[in-house]
Amino acid sequence: MNTKFKATVIRKAIKVSCRMHWLGKTAKHIDVRHSHIDTAHGSIPLRIYQPPGEGPFPVVVYYHGGGWVIGDLGVYDPMCRDLCNRSDCIVVAVDYRLAPEHPFPAAPEDCLAALKWTYEHIELYGGLPNAIVVAGDSAGGNLAAVTALQARECLPNVVKGQVLIYPVTDHYEPGTPSYLENANGPVLTRKLMIWFWDTYLKNSSVLEFGQTRHPRATPLARNDLDNLPPTLLITAGRDPLRDDGANYAMRLEQFDNTVQYSLYADSCHGFVGLQGPKADHIEATEEISTWLGVLFSA
């Protein structure tokens, strides 16, 4: 099965799966507006989720998961509605370009552009440009972490916090204990994660042959993790990426950043957002909402 065909098959399957898990449980009362960003590489679609009330509201810029290969605004619509509803924040969901059609660094380029657009335009939607957090799950957690690092240099003081949900933070080689313990899943397997990484990096315009680490792809490998905003980092115990998140939390703390780390020991990859509003999803989104409330009231 070639890469593009495999990506198409998985994209369709995840849409059906997520739709079934959220059937009849979506926060329909949340207002959703559509926008886009025009770039030299084309248009980046956005969805802006607005909570009830007058506002102005704090803002979460959300980057979806899917190994940089799958996932889209439709798949993550229930998750973004739920997060908006529970947190009382505007959520800006970003439909960044996916591999293999658009390999690294297309995704981090789009994610930074979306943050810049949000900072410049969110007042028009009732948002606070001085109260913006970046967030994401899995590959989206990777992109949120990378965007916070990029913004530190080119958009200083714009990002007030980052919510990283079982983020990818390093390449699969040399690997971690959680990659071996959870090699067969559930949900995410080691084999699938390897395919995601290989698909994301293949044909990259900025990597040399055989290169697997880059400042905009593997934040764990960086030595400049100082002066980053407060972080909430959530991991799942039954997940190949558990140690990616735990190790990144430790690295952030080593650089004197403020970190709240939570391990959901009995949960698996995708428990936030993709498997419907089960008990652990509700607990995690309530933790995120509480953390955001404390951050923005400080």
Catalytic positions: 138
| Cβ atoms within 10 Å, residue 203 | 12
Name the token pair of 84: 């908006």
| β-sheet with 57-63: strand ranges across | 31-39, 42-50, 90-94, 57-63, 127-137, 159-165, 231-238, 259-268
Cα Rg of the chain, angstroms: 17
Helices vs strands, H then E, count in the chain: 8, 8
In this structure, what DSSP letter does residue 28 have? T
- Give the residue from 26, 44, 28 showing the smallest Cα distance to 36: 44
Phi, psi (deg, nearest 5) at residue 139: -60, -30
| Euclidean distance between CA atoms 206 and 208, whole angstroms | 7
Asked if 196 and 177 count as a contact pair (C-beta separation under 8 A), the reply is: no
Residue type, 154: C
Name the token pair of 243: 């140690």
Beta strands in the chain (DSSP E): 31-39, 42-50, 57-63, 90-94, 127-137, 159-165, 231-238, 259-268
